[in-house]
Chain A
Amino acid sequence: MYDAPLRKTDVEAQTTKIAARDVQVYYGDTHAIKDVSVDLLDKTVTSFIGPSGCGKSTFLRCLNRMNDTIDICRVEGLISLDGQDIYEKRVDPVQLRAKVGMVFQKPNPFPKSIYDNVAYGPKIHGMARNKAELDEIVEKALRRGAIWDEVKDRLDAPGTGLSGGQQQRLCIARAVATEPEVLLMDEPCSALDPIATAQVEELIDELREQYSVVIVTHSMQQAARVSQKTAFFHLGNLVEYGETSQIFTNPTDPRTESYITGRIG
């Protein structure tokens, strides 16, 4: 199949954070991802778009080996983080996931307090030496998640009691609390109302300063709003990858054009 050429037209010279080469994913007998090769840049928001079932979420979950938790899923090809193959035998997926955090489609706060939700990651990774340090990490993460002002007076309240948008920002705060290098977001706004979506999108833009962010989205407008790079998936193939503005205004592949103009999808 046809692979999107990797364009080196970036304004700022940015380093590649994650590189994927000829990645194949199988669910039992189903070939879900075919020959995907892509370079994801540091300090950049990359969005994956495409019709439902095109494999964009599956590919995203390969990037921090979340697919390991599914028995029948098999991944082939090479995916590297900072040049290190993440599927190599010696790599501990647990350490990998500490570096490549993830935010999910549905907000999924643990049934614990807001504080414990955020503190959970730092605790299991031993990032704090004492309570004061932990407090500091939690506050920083909540601030970075743009939710500190709303919850600072009720850190002991259960995380499940927040509104949908707040819950999702809490989950983002929870993800950044472990100081990841890459943040994967699987349709983070699909369960949110427009106002909450706007808040989360704003947050994503801020996160770009420190992380490489990869976001899967159904909404082309959202991709256009938040991302600098866009990859279009179709039937398990990466059809086109490039600057967001270029993909949306001047796609090279006819399938991309059909999708963007609403003829397929």
Chain B
Amino acid sequence: MPVTWLVFIVLALALAGFVAGRVRIDSAAGAGRPHSLPNYYGWNIAIKVMVPAFLVLICWLIVQPFVVNGAVTARLGDNAVPDGSTIGLVMSDVRRVAEGLDAAVSQGLMGADQASDLRTEFTNVRDRLAEAGVALGSNVTPQVLGAAQTWRALNANGMLLMSVAVTALALAGLVWGYVQTTPDFRARNTVENALRIMLLAAASLAILTTIGIVFSLIGNTIKFFSLYPASEFFGSFTWSPSFGGGSELGIWPLLWGTLYISVIALTVAVPIGLFAAVYLSEYAGPRMRAWAKPMLEVLAGIPTIVYGLFALLTVGPLLLSVFGRDGLGWMQAGTAVMTAGLVMGIMLIPFVSSLSDDIINAVPQSLRDGSYGLGATKSETIKQVILPAALPGIVGAILLAASRAIGETMIVVLGAGAAARLSLNPFDAMTTVTAKIVSQLTGDADFASPEALVAFALGMTLFVMTLGLNVFALYIVRKYREQYE
């Protein structure tokens, strides 16, 4: 692992620089007290060694595969691509052969020279690589083998260049920092500035994550729409993917399932959560609050996989025994909109109640006093003063809960069924956007097929919906809070 070694070399240089800086400033102490504590001089050098070296290392590691890929693709040319295949498929063969050669060399099955001189005319490459534990789908063509060898050569060169560049940069940093180390040098300020930049970099990761999400969704969504018309995706009322091609991928049945389940979940969660919050904040004594609140919050701490299993194995069969063939006959199977909706509602109770609790507590006591002072009962005060005053905040909380419900995955994957249908019967099995993202990406579909790529378009839809709801809800809640601050 040359990269590991490189990291150790840079770290060692940094340590050496740290010690050298300290020693130098200590020995220069005769010339008056230095500006900063000795450690800061050490850190100054260590930072100058590490930061540029590691930055270059990371960038290089990310960029090199693309450069190599491009060069090899260019060298392969179009004639290397057999009919019915694509350059992408050929390149993945090339990569696999190259990895196989690497594995063979590292296991000592092949000398390094042998690997680069291998010819398909003389050796059955496939068998040789199988010995190294790398199974190939087909025999290796001369072009592919050649490309793989080029690939390895380019990679090796790149690694060598990178090692040289990184080490040189680290050394340069060491020298630069060492020369700076004089008693007049403001080492603390330099180090603190570097630290501040690092803090900023950490904070920027949030932006990077959002960019990552947006780009991974957009890139693949565009790819999907180039294979499958957007008008069909947003216009069709049928969802029937078939991996042989000719799929109909209309989003409406999925959206309908999502919304139906969310509505049922909110119908369960909002009244219970809201009444619980009202009771806890207005009626309950401190002792009841002390145990009832954490108990409700336990429901929020339980992972969604647990709720999923609860829906699949407990609630589903229970509902089936009442509404199924032996009962009212409305239900075909345990997995249904109602099952998932009920369980999701239970999951959302603490979410609604703790948000509403915060919001009700933000209503100033003076309004309660005003109402009690007029001779209103508690419930009249709650219904006519507190809830109307808290209404915007509560609406915000419900929107946040709705966004939670729309994005929930495990409960619907396990509890809602897999059939995409537009039906009004809540005891029918339906499916949701999230459940289909899972099934389209965990199936056997090729990642380049529209059946798999549709998951990204679904993800994009989901992201836009939840983001919109959240931004709107947070805006309402913030407005509400400002009103009482």
Instruction: Tell me the A residues contacting B by CB distance below 8 Å.
Output: 64, 66, 69, 71, 94-99, 101-104, 106, 108-112, 120-121, 124-125, 171, 174-175, 178, 184
Knowing A110-B385, A112-B388, A178-B375, the reply to whether A124 touches B380 (Cβ < 8 A) is yes
CB distance from B378 to the nearest CB of A (A): 9
Residues of chain A within 8 A (CB-CB) of B377 are: 94, 124
Residues of chain A within 8 A (CB-CB) of B388 are: 110-112
CB distance from B389 to the nearest CB of A (A): 5
Knowing A71-B285, A112-B388, the reply to whether A94 touches B376 (Cβ < 8 A) is yes
Q: Which residue of B286, B372, B384 is within 8 Å of A97 (Cβ)?
A: B372
CB of A66 within 8 A of CB of B366, answer no
Residues of chain B within 8 A (CB-CB) of A110 are: 367, 370-371, 385, 388-389
Does any Cβ of A come within 8 Å of B374's Cβ?
yes
CB of B286 within 8 A of CB of A71, answer yes
Question: What 1/0 mask marks residues of chain B from 445 to 485 whose CB sits below 8 Å from any chain A CB?
Answer: 00000000000000000000000000000000000000100
Q: Which residues of chain B (387-403) have a CB below 8 Å from chain A?
A: 388-389
CB of B375 within 8 A of CB of A94, answer yes
Knowing A111-B389, A112-B388, the reply to whether A178 touches B374 (Cβ < 8 A) is yes
Knowing A71-B286, A124-B380, the reply to whether A66 touches B375 (Cβ < 8 A) is no
Q: Of all chain B residues, which has the CB nearest A121?
A: B374
Residues of chain B within 8 A (CB-CB) of A99 are: 375
CB distance from B290 to the nearest CB of A (A): 13
Residues of chain A within 8 A (CB-CB) of B371 are: 110, 120
A–B pairs, 6, beta carbons within 8 Å:
A101-B375, A104-B366, A108-B366, A109-B370, A120-B385, A178-B375
CB of B389 within 8 A of CB of A102, answer no
CB of B375 within 8 A of CB of A121, answer yes
Instruction: Tell me the B residues contacting A by CB distance below 8 Å.
Output: 285-286, 364, 366-377, 380, 384-385, 388-389, 483
Residues of chain B within 8 A (CB-CB) of A95 are: 375
Roughly how many angstroms separate A109 CA and B483 CA in the complex, as a whole number?
13
Residues of chain B within 8 A (CB-CB) of A69 are: 368-369, 372
Roughly how many angstroms separate A98 CA and B380 CA in the complex, as a whole number?
14
Which of B285, B369, B373, B385 counts the most A-chain CB atoms under 10 A from its CB? B373
CB distance from A157 to the nearest CB of B (A): 16
CB distance from A86 to the nearest CB of B (A): 13
CB distance from A104 to the nearest CB of B (A): 6
Q: Which residue of A96, A108, A120 is within 8 Å of B364 (Cβ)?
A: A108
Roughly how many angstroms separate A110 CA and B388 CA in the complex, as a whole number?
9
CB of B373 within 8 A of CB of A101, answer yes
Roughly how many angstroms separate A253 CA and B388 CA in the complex, as a whole number?
50
Knowing A110-B389, A111-B388, the reply to whether A66 touches B369 (Cβ < 8 A) is yes
Residues of chain B within 8 A (CB-CB) of A178 are: 374-375
Q: Of all chain B residues, which has the CB nearest A116?
A: B384
CB of A108 within 8 A of CB of B374, answer no
CB distance from B197 to the nearest CB of A (A): 46
CB of A106 within 8 A of CB of B375, answer no
Roughly how many angstroms separate A108 CA and B389 CA in the complex, as a whole number?
12
CB of A104 within 8 A of CB of B368, answer no
Known pairs A108-B364, A110-B389, A124-B376. 9 more at Cβ < 8 A? A71-B285, A94-B376, A94-B377, A104-B366, A110-B370, A120-B385, A121-B375, A174-B374, A175-B374
CB of A124 within 8 A of CB of B375, answer yes
Q: Of all chain B residues, which has the CB nearest A96?
A: B375
CB of B380 within 8 A of CB of A102, answer no
Q: Which residue of A94, A96, A171 is within 8 Å of B370 (Cβ)?
A: A171
CB distance from A199 to the nearest CB of B (A): 20
Residues of chain B within 8 A (CB-CB) of A71 are: 285-286
Roughly how many angstroms separate A104 CA and B371 CA in the complex, as a whole number?
11
Residues of chain A within 8 A (CB-CB) of B285 are: 71
CB of B369 within 8 A of CB of A108, answer yes
CB distance from B402 to the nearest CB of A (A): 25
Roughly how many angstroms separate A198 CA and B43 CA in the complex, as a whole number?
68
CB of B373 within 8 A of CB of A175, answer yes
Residues of chain A within 8 A (CB-CB) of B364 are: 108
Roughly how many angstroms separate A137 CA and B10 CA in the complex, as a whole number?
85
Q: Which residue of A101, A108, A121 is within 8 Å of B367 (Cβ)?
A: A108
